[in-house]
Amino acid sequence: MVAVAAVLIVWIVLDTTIGLAMLVAAIPLLLLATAIADHFSPVAVCSIAAALFVIGWTFQILGHSLFEHRKAAFLDNPMYLLIGPMFVVAKLLVALGLRPDLARLMQPAGEQTTNA
């Protein structure tokens, strides 16, 4: 919980709206994790955590290789492990029309327009 709180604070400091959206998403996930921990043995909890870890990384590797056709950015800079989830939430907020200010910033470099 301390690590989750620290990461959420960093996300909120970096961008309040995205950080708060991530906090809202984290609350039910933390409640689910607590319910699992309360109702299963430690061996079962570790098994569930290990399975979710393997599944998550499998999707991460497949997604980057099949869809982006490049390696994950966090392989060059581990800080992107923190920034990656913010990027996903930012893309969702842009798609929902809630952060038009980020829409321009998230376009590929060749597609950005200037207001000169």
95 pLDDT above the threshold of 80: yes
CA–CA separation, 20 and 5 (whole Å): 12
User: What six digits make up the tokens of 2?
Assistant: 């301390």
68 pLDDT above the threshold of 90: no
111 pLDDT above the threshold of 80: no
If you search the block for the tokens 């590797």, which residue do you land on? Answer: 61
Please report whether residue 31 resides in a domain: yes
Please report whether residue 116 resides in a domain: no
| pLDDT in the model for residue 44 | 96
> What's the predicted TM-score (pTM) here?
0.77
Q: Count CB-CB contacts under 10 A for residue 89.
A: 21
User: What six digits make up the tokens of 74?
Assistant: 């966090």
106 pLDDT above the threshold of 60: yes
Which range of residues forms the domain containing residue 19? 2-101
Please report whether residue 70 resides in a domain: yes
110 pLDDT above the threshold of 60: yes
Supply the mean pLDDT for the chain: 90
Please report whether residue 109 resides in a domain: no
CA–CA separation, 29 and 14 (whole Å): 22
Please report whether residue 114 resides in a domain: no
Please report whether residue 112 resides in a domain: no
Please report whether residue 106 resides in a domain: no
When divided into structural domains, the chain yields a total of: 1
Please report whether residue 16 resides in a domain: yes
